[in-house]
Structure 1
Amino acid sequence: MNVRTMRTLENLARLHRACRQLHSLAYGKVHRTQWKPVLSSACPMCPIQLHPLFWQPDARSQFRLLSTTERKKSSKEKLKLIKPKVKKQEVVIRPRMTVEELAKAMHKDIDHVYEALLNTSIDVNSLEPDTVLDSMWIKDVVKKSGMKFVTAKLKEEEEVVVKENKDVVKRPPADPALLTLRPPVVTILGHVDHGKTTLLDSLRKTQVAAMEAGGITQHIGAFLVHLPSGEKITFLDTPGHAAFSAMRARGTNVTDIVVLVIAAEDGIQQQTVESIQHAKNANVPIVVAINKCDKPKADPEQVKKELLAHDIVCEEYGGEVQAVCISGLKGDNLDALAEAIVALAEVLEIKADYTGLVEGTIIESCTDKGKGPVTTAIIQRGTLKKGCILVAETSWAKVRLMFDENGKPMEAATPGMPVQIVGWKKIPSAGKEILEVESEQRAREVVEWRTYTEEQEKAKKELEVIELKRKEQKDIYNKDREDLFNMTWKQKRNILRSRNNPMLNRPKEQADSSKNRLSIIIKGDVDGSVEAILNILDTYDADEECELNVIHCGIGDISENDINLAETFEGIIYGFNVNANKSIQKLASVKKVKMKMNKIIYRLIEDLKEDLSDTLPTTLEERVLGHASVLATFDVTLGKSKVPVAGCRVLKGYLNRNMKFKLIRNGKVIWSGSLTSLKHHKDDVLEIKMGMECGLSVDGDIKFEVGDEIVCFTGEKIKQKISWDPGF
């Protein structure tokens, strides 16, 4: 062994002794599991090495013990490297937010908010996207989502209130020098089945009436008719059914002339009077078309006389209203009707401005599978072309395609012309105004402003409802305080105990939960149809025996979302002029969801009434089987007891031992129940027929008297019917 090796071993021994001393000092300060290898600072002869947070090389002794301050600082730096701090997402909240607004603020979907509220006292099934949540629940949802809430400042809210108005409005009236004659817009009004659509068929030589479900018009149809004389007339065919009052009112708001169709054999009916009122409210001139004059019972003169009661004076009676006798089915005298319309249009000098930005009115809207949202509109000003940017309600469109009433493409639509417009971002409501804007950016600004104003109006109404409820609760509280002030201490104590009792509100809850409820989903082909159905449902009284809950309504065919929603609420889907493909039908069958399709509106309402009636409990109705009179009474000994027996004769029907019986004395029922025995002479029998005598005993302690009446009856379950009358 050379000198260099010996010196190396001495140094290692010295280092090992020092290391053992350090181990003994550090053992109580650091757990063994936390010790980690130190690269060149540890002793190579020690099986356990020291953690670098506690021991570091020193210039003199190679190792030194860190101070408490240095150790804490080093530990924090180490933890920062190991576990970096995650910054929580901030969510700006307000004291009152709807479910939809909260989901948008959190950048989540609505289902996420519902899931966060599942294990709370809120009934998630009763929540709607527009339900206003209290600040407590808003904060709870944000916390459960692992986010941080920040309350919106009042200054920011004030800045939002003074947001700049960026809405678009109609242009000022045009210079008379720019006005040009346009085709008149004529609306056909009248009672159902008085021949309105058949009249239009004859005018344009088509068969629209044959295609209508049930032979009645259920949509507004807009058609441009070219007369033999060269004039053009735009006709609006409106439904005559009572359910479509809103459609008829919408038709008169865009029309220049009203053609009032009245059947010569029926005269003025309910919807005829309503149509007259719509025309008067819109201040539109009327041309009377007395239809079905070819029928044997036709009486046109009687119709003209009936019109006098409604302030419509025909020319034959010295008035200004033209009345033309026609036959829409046979096409008789239609030329005279067209001439009357053209003559009235010339007198009115109907003109429009063909230049500038487009203005119009939506007559009908729907969703087409291949085209998307489609609207039928009447252009009132300007010339509509492909590429125009339109705004209606809270939707906008860049016109991609235009079609006429026959589905043929159009290059331009001038004032007075009906047109189908394709290119809407979402479906605007029927009856809304169409305005053209300069660019897509301008359209977005208009839609954003209109959406904002709608939200403000909605929030204002909700605030009014909340304040009203608070006032009612405050009034109840003040009244209770006054009542308590006038009570004795014992009375107060009893009331306070009952108020604190959790069972206090159970009877009311049970009453509410026991009320029958029918949840429904309405899907229609066009906006006007859904509107008409909802208007009918508005006539349903909230105090009816069954609660009607419309959980969703929309336009288009039945979808998977509709099935899932109906399954959740155990509801029924009613489709009007819509379809459900095979996969949807199969899904509905698997999930046991009822779907009822109709093409006639009153049949849909009949199905709804039947389903409402099915929710009502059946009633037990008595059906009398026979009558018997007590002729004598006597007692029979059975064992140690005596049983009263009545000797009877059957006067009507028959008595059956297995049926129910009641005993009537002096017109009052004194007993009702079952028989214990029924005998003819000494034989037990099941049935006694009319004219036969018998002896019977009952299951109660009843003493018979001569002259009592025995009635045999059975109970039949009778299905109740809802008392709702939709008006047709």
Structure 2
Amino acid sequence: MAKMRIYELAKELDISSKELMEKIEDLDINAKSHMSSLSGEETELIKELLGNEEEEIIKTKQVQENKNTNIKEEDSNIINAEESQVDQDETNTIEIGSEIIVKELADILNVNPSQVITKLISQGIMASQNQSIDFDTASLLAIDFGVELSLKEETEETEIEEEIMAELDYEDKEEDLKPRPPVVTVMGHVDHGKTSLLDAIRESHVTTSEAGGITQHIGASVARINDKKLVFLDTPGHEAFTSMRARGAKVTDIAILVVAADDGVMPQTLEAISHAKAAGVPIIVAINKIDKPTANLDRIKQELVENGLLPEDWGGDTITVPVSAKNREGIDELLEMVLLVAEIQELKANPNRKAIGIVIEAQLDKGKGPLATILVQKGTLKVGDMVVSGTASGRIRAMLDHKGKQLKKATPSIPAVILGLSEVPNAGDLIYAVENEKIARFYASEKKNQLREQQFKLDDRVTLENLFETIKEGDIQDLNIIIKADVRGSMEALSQSLQKLDIKEEVKVNMIHGGIGGITESDIMLAAASNAIVIGFNVRPNLNALEVAKREKVDIRTYRVIYEAIEDIQKAVKGMLIPDIVEEVLGRAEIRATFRLPNGNSIAGIYIVNGKITRNSKIRLLRDDIVMFEGTISSLKRFKDDVREVASGYEAGIGLENYNDLKEGDMLEAYILKEVQR
């Protein structure tokens, strides 16, 4: 008898794969999942076992039926009436999943969503009509409306999804793997020459023939060196290491870190090092601008050592290459080093399978519709393939290569722009080639359902409030932190103090990034990708960072005294952190002009950027997101009138109590302190 997969046998026996897996658990059969194959003998054994169980069930039923026939007629009538009641009850029992949207529950109960929300509030649960609640909450609430809910067991549809996912993404056999080009991202501080370096590579390796050359296209470019291809990602900032890695995708093989020889290691350089290390990507340092008279290679290497990168010629394992993008010096040596690191990594993929890739960039073109720049990671993508990415699906109508020319297929590591998707996918999402439209639509539909639940998963982010519970449940071994401070001394002091904390043995404080200056959007994205807490000392997040932190549910803590930060983390680990007073930010304003009064005091003309400024709120003065002053407001006026508050979009005049160092471009942050119940 031929081999048979477990899920196929389950269908034949008319039971679920999960149930069948449970049945064969006690047998000496090596079956890891529902996709495992069974030999002919194993299949027969299972059928025989289940056949015997079926016979026992039938015998039991027959005995029960015989007993029932001996029951008196009046008892029989009672039983029939009871059975009728059971049938009636069953009609009011509705199956739902482990979670349900409030609006969907209201539809099932045939009531207005506001009625459901009111019931939830009475149970102490705050949820909007578009949020999900768990089965237990829903079932208790449904009883009040005379409806009984039951938990839906694993359905055949769920099994189909598992089978599809097993077919879409699987580990390839070693013998099927073939070498692929490395994917390289150029990173570094602004003005250190990232763009110039890419241009230099581009100009050094452009030829008129079709075989060679490099051309930049949306987000990606391809170079050919010594008959070998290199793929460069031109993603802005550190997107390849943050938003994409936050979704669990590793898109880059090698990072080229550009450092200016006349400037040295700067805040964005440190940021780039942290992102590359967090992603586990090897770093090659390109020391640029060696043509400048003030270039100092030894100083740059010393600064690299201080930040955890020991150059090879100093006995370490970090490759450093002196280059001049301006004079085209060292470009070939740099690319040879990239190829060497790639060779050591032995980068391989199977080109002979259905393609899996990652969306690098996506946009809506008025003429062509949704466009997606994708990077193939496994398999070969072809024109005409049915693909799905998140909630987007469609058949590829056309593909463009890195030169903007028509492309028939794209192999591993090769970027391509594809046309034909139903909607614009998200950057960082995986894209799958599938068998047919039905599978693509099913997968897209499942993804929509998952997105509804995604908000709840963000609640799993580590915060100081939930740290103790997370440790207790064994969900955290490392407490990842990002520290930003106004000066290097403060950052280093805080870092050392936190890492030396006498906390539980099972938890290790791990500083994944430290820097000088305000808290930026990039810091928040790194925290989201690494499940880290952001600690600011004498600095504040900018408006973009606040918005991203709110969306990604990243915990930001800011302090003016070092021991308070240390004390908070110690208490959080021991489960003793109970905030008595919390801070609520009311709004921010920008200083547009400054005026000196006859009495020597300074006032500022301000524009409220967001929120509001109130006369009795506390105020911070921020200069480049660094806290310069914290205190109270001495005056708040609209024209000549004293006012209690000024809302967003309006201008006002403001004076700060005992502080006159006001400058145009400074930001003011208004906040209040609220007492919370223990």
Q: Where on the TM-score scale, by shorter chain, does this alignment land: which range?
A: 0.3 to 0.5
TM-score, with length taken from structure 2: 0.48
Larger Rg: 1
TM-score, with length taken from structure 1: 0.45
